Amino acid sequence: MSQKDKAKFRSTGKWKKFRAYMKSKYKKDALTGKILYKGWNLHHMNLNETYYQDLVEEHFLCLNKTSHDVIHFLYNVAKYKGIQETIDSLSDILYKMKEINSLI
């Protein structure tokens, strides 16, 4: 499915209705817990393009733009490094930053 095809699907009433439903139900960014702001993303967790138009609620997350970018970035790192190794590295970095900045 091309980016053009995906954009065309996202302009349909079916998608817009589903997106509105998800925002009304979840209201907050799944990563940060902050209120969704203008420009938020309805993130497909199933990245198989065959299922792009399958609107299975459990396969989507409401994310603000930065959270969406972070999730995709970390997912791509994890494809090569492994999920647990990626989480461990991220945790080590965050704890080190917390220590350096005296937030413990």
Judged against a pLDDT cut of 80, whether residue 103 lies above it is answered with no
Angstrom distance (rounded) from CA 83 to CA 74: 9
Quick one: what percent of the chain has pLDDT higher than 90?
93
Give me the pLDDT at residue 93, please. 94
Q: Write out the two tokens for 85.
A: 């190794």
d(CA 10, CA 28): 21
Please determine, for residue 3, whether its predicted confidence score (pLDDT) is greater than 70.
yes
| Separation of alpha carbons 41 and 22, rounded Å | 11
> 67: which strand partners?
none
What is the reported pTM?
0.87
pLDDT of residue 41: 97
- At residue 96, the pLDDT reads 93
Distance, C-alpha 89 to centroid of its chain = 20
CA nearest 22: which of 55, 62, 59? 62
Nearest to 73 by CA among 85, 86, 84, 64: 86
Question: Which residues make Cβ contacts (< 8 Å) with residue 39, sequence separation at least 6?
Answer: 64, 65
Q: How far are the Cα atoms of 32, 67, 98 from residue 28, in angstroms, in the given order? A: 8, 11, 25
Give mean pLDDT, residues 88-102.
93
Q: Average pLDDT in the 35-53 region?
A: 95
Instruction: Tell whether the model's pLDDT for residue 89 goes beyond 80.
Output: yes
